[in-house]
Amino acid sequence: MPMVLAVFLAGLLGLGAGTAARRAALTFTVPTGQPPRAGCPHCQEPFTSRTWRLVLGRCPSCGQRLGAPAFLPEVLTALLWGLVVADVGVSWTGGALLWLSACGVALTLADWTAHLLPDRLTFPTAVGVVTLLGIGAIAGHHEGAFARAIAGALTLGVFYLVGAMVTNIGLGDVKLAPSLGAALGWFGWSYLVAGLTLGFLLGSLYGVGLLVSRRASGKRTIAFGPFMIAGALAVCLMAA
């Protein structure tokens, strides 16, 4: 398949994946212990009714703001999927990054809007990434890269767990870390360090920007998950 066509199809499929990411963020961004959200919190309109209109960022029944702005996750996921296929090609490694991208968009929406990284999103993200990398390792005889990916997942998970014990890092960030560590570790230890560093750098720059613009005080916490995801994906794309 010509690369231009592959990238175009990836972007097209990414639009659908972005819609699924929007839906997942709306459904699972609920307080711990509560069941998944089945409908609009304003009018209780079920998501199964006229769900396609959710891409407009409004409830199709009452018109209230619901989730991300119109078409934002759809376009973002389409762009990410196009970049992944253009950079990595059609492969199991590319599939792992496509899965991480779509899940990353959903997790970013959840964390940005509610400062929450739900287990129902973080765990499937990790399972999908590890499974696809494992299949890629078997198909391409990359057992060493897969072993490094597992070690990277454990390393980043432990790093964030220790960080949560001594700082205000959230447990959601701890549960997200293994997915990112696996993807980064697949490419090499130096990329894992780079992805970790870039995530902290992006988060720090955002925090400084808020302080300089006087939009936040020193006591305000920021959603760090989006910066972790952005840093990891950027480094993975550079590494591929």
For 151-169, how does the pLDDT look when each residue is reduced to its tens digit (9 = 90+)?
999 999 999 999 999 988 8
Token pair, residue 80, equals 């990410």
The C-alpha atoms of residue 186 and residue 76 are separated, in whole angstroms, by: 24
Q: pLDDT tens digit string along 174-224?
A: 999 999 999 999 999 999 999 999 999 999 999 888 878 777 655 567 899
Q: Three-state SS for 16?
A: helix
Please say whether the beta carbons of 81 and 10 come within 8 A: yes
| Residue 13 binned pLDDT confidence (cut-offs 50, 70, 90) | very high
The C-alpha atoms of residue 230 and residue 232 are separated, in whole angstroms, by: 6
The fraction of the chain above a pLDDT of 70, given in percent, is 96
Whole-number pLDDT of residue 11 = 95
- Residue type at 63? G
Domain region containing 221: 3-239
- Three-state SS letters, 41-80: CCCCCECCCCHHHHHHCECCCCCCECCCCCCHHHHHHHHH
Residue that is written with structure tokens 């990916």 in the block: 149
Q: Three-state SS for 180?
A: helix
Lowest mean pLDDT among 17-31, 45-59, 82-96, 184-198: 45-59
The fraction of the chain above a pLDDT of 90, given in percent, is 68
pLDDT of 96 higher than 90: yes
- In the chain, how many domains are there? 1
Please say whether the beta carbons of 76 and 17 come within 8 A: no
- All residues at 6 or more sequence positions from 46 whose CB lies less than 8 Å from its CB, including other chains: 38, 39
Residue that is written with structure tokens 């952005």 in the block: 230
| Residue 75 binned pLDDT confidence (cut-offs 50, 70, 90) | very high
Q: pLDDT tens digit string along 123-157?
A: 999 999 999 999 999 999 999 999 999 999 999 99
